[in-house]
Amino acid sequence: MPGARAEAMMTGTIPVSLANHDVDMFIQNGVNGFYGNSAEELAEHVAWLMKNEKQREDISRNARLTTMDIFNIDRHLAGWSELIAGLC
């Protein structure tokens, strides 16, 4: 996942992204962000976000929680420890 997307999500920014760079591994449409295959589809997501304040707040919170879960230091260190242990 591109670092810029992860950094934005860590601040609660809702990602609206083209369906590339394994976006579907990190973003669930309508849960913690949006992705689509065309500019028109992305514009529809943005328009929906502008009209739905409560859902926007929930999705923003979920975006932040997702990145805190995926990119936290404990998970990172556990992954490296598991990899190194598998080499021995």
CATH number at residue 27: 3.40.50.2000
- pLDDT, residue 23, reads 93
pLDDT (tens digit, 9 = 90+) per residue, 14-64? Answer: 999 999 989 999 999 999 999 999 999 999 999 999 999 999 999 999 999
Q: Tokens representing 47?
A: 């328009």
- pLDDT, residue 41, reads 97
Checking if the pLDDT of 2 tops 80, the result is no
CA pair distance 88, 79, nearest whole angstrom: 15
- pLDDT, residue 3, reads 84
Number of domains in the chain: 1
User: Amino acid letter at 11?
Assistant: T
Report strand pairing: 34-36 vs 16-18. Answer: parallel
Residue-number span of the structural domain to which 58 is assigned? 3-87
For residues 53-82, average pLDDT: 92
The pTM score is: 0.81
